[in-house]
């Protein structure tokens, strides 16, 4: 059987000063899609019994290598969340660059494993693997992002409008 993320990474996101929410990646996939990553991949890729052992090995190695990247991303988001109200221009610049560099590193990791999955599964199913992996990653990212406060000024200046374009309330 395929293993879900080898290490469950957690993010503590404070939605209010007194409320903390804990995210577990394994649980997030199940919460969002109603199935775990293993089930989704098996159904989507239709891994044959002959391919199963080699695929499981490659998948486990990919998830293991992906884990530090994911941990770093979560740490960066956690840092933003804990310090967002006091981030100055220099720190915001640095934090944003770190997040972008994290994304670039993840792209390089995917390229290495695309070559491997291509040999194991063929180009179409390798593409499907990364399509699903990216979809799951983006979906969990969006879920986490929705729990984080929006950058200071944009959040405090946002207003809700009705059909007549009159402000209903400030947020």
Report yes or no: 20 and 55 within 8 Å, Cβ to Cβ.
no
pLDDT digits (tens, 9 = 90+) for 21-42: 445 566 778 888 888 887 788 7
Domain of 100, in residue numbers: 10-170
Q: Is residue 65 domain-resident?
A: yes
Q: Is residue 3 domain-resident?
A: no
Number of domains in the chain: 1
Q: Is residue 5 domain-resident?
A: no
* Residue 156 β-bridge partners: none
Flag the least confident range among 41-50, 72-81, 118-127, 142-151.
Answer: 142-151
Q: Is residue 4 domain-resident?
A: no
Q: Is residue 2 domain-resident?
A: no
Residue 130: pLDDT above 80? yes
pLDDT digits (tens, 9 = 90+) for 119-129: 999 999 999 99
Residues 6+ apart with CB under 8 A from 67: 5, 6, 7, 9
Q: Is residue 87 domain-resident?
A: yes
């Amino acid at each position: 059987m395929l293993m879900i993320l080898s290490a469950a990474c957690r993010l503590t996101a404070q939605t209010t000063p007194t409320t903390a929410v804990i995210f577990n990646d394994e649980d997030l996939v199940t919460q969002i899609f109603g199935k775990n990553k293993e089930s989704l991949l098996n159904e989507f890729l239709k891994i044959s019994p002959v391919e199963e052992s080699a695929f499981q090995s490659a998948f486990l190695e990919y998830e293991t290598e992906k884990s530090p990247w994911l941990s770093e991303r979560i740490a960066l988001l956690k840092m933003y969340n804990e310090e967002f109200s006091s981030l100055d221009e220099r720190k915001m610049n640095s934090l944003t660059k770190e997040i972008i560099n994290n994304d670039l590193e993840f792209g390089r990791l995917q390229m290495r494993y695309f070559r491997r999955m291509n040999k194991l599964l063929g180009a179409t199913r390798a593409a499907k693997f990364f399509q699903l992996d990216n979809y799951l990653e983006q979906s969990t990212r969006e879920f986490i992002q929705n729990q984080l406060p929006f950058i200071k000024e944009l959040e405090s200046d946002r207003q809700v409008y009705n059909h007549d374009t009159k402000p209903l309330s400030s947020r």
